[in-house]
């Protein structure tokens, strides 16, 4: 339990937009002055492995991190990539089908609500490109 680990954990706790490793790094630099990006990556990996953080998947090619361990969904802005927590009652009611799907063993549902955040909607974000599902 080092100062760096505390700093990374706090940075994720404080950034509700689900920061990327780089965003965490920048926040720490602005706040404490210095820290290696490699250490940020290692620490995020360490905290996620220890169950203190979650690595969440994004439609982009970067990992984002979430300190909210409770079951919930995410609002993902396709403009800026930021994510906010959201807890939609209707989605809680969805259950994983009891048994396996033709040999596939389901373990969890991964649900995102993709759209535009307020800021990006104003400036009209880029056109919808990466899609899945409905």
Applying CB under 8 A, the residues found at the interface with a copy of itself are 48-49, 54-59, 61, 63, 66, 71-78, 84, 86, 88, 90-92, 94-97, 101, 103-118, 121, 128-134
Helix (H) or strand (E) holding 54: strand 54-56
CA atoms within 13 A on the CB side of 74: 26
| Contact mark string toward DNA, 62..101, x via CB under 7 A | xx--------------------------------------
| Partner that binds at residue 79, options a copy of itself, DNA, none, CB closer than 5 to 8 Å by kind | none
Nearest by Cα to 51 from 38, 65, 69: 69
């Amino acid at each position: 339990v080092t100062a760096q680990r505390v700093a990374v954990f706090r940075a994720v706790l404080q950034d509700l937009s689900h920061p990327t490793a780089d965003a965490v790094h920048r926040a720490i630099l602005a706040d404490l002055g210095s820290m290696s990006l490699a250490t940020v990556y290692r620490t995020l990996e360490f905290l996620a492995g220890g169950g203190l953080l979650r690595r969440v998947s994004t439609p982009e090619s970067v990992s984002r991190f979430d300190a909210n361990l409770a079951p919930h969904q995410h609002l993902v802005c396709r403009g800026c990539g930021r994510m906010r927590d959201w807890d939609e009652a209707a989605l809680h009611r969805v259950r994983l089908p009891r048994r396996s799907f033709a040999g596939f063993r389901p373990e969890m549902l991964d649900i995102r609500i993709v759209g535009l955040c307020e800021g990006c909607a104003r400036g009209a974000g880029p056109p919808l490109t990466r899609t899945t599902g409905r």
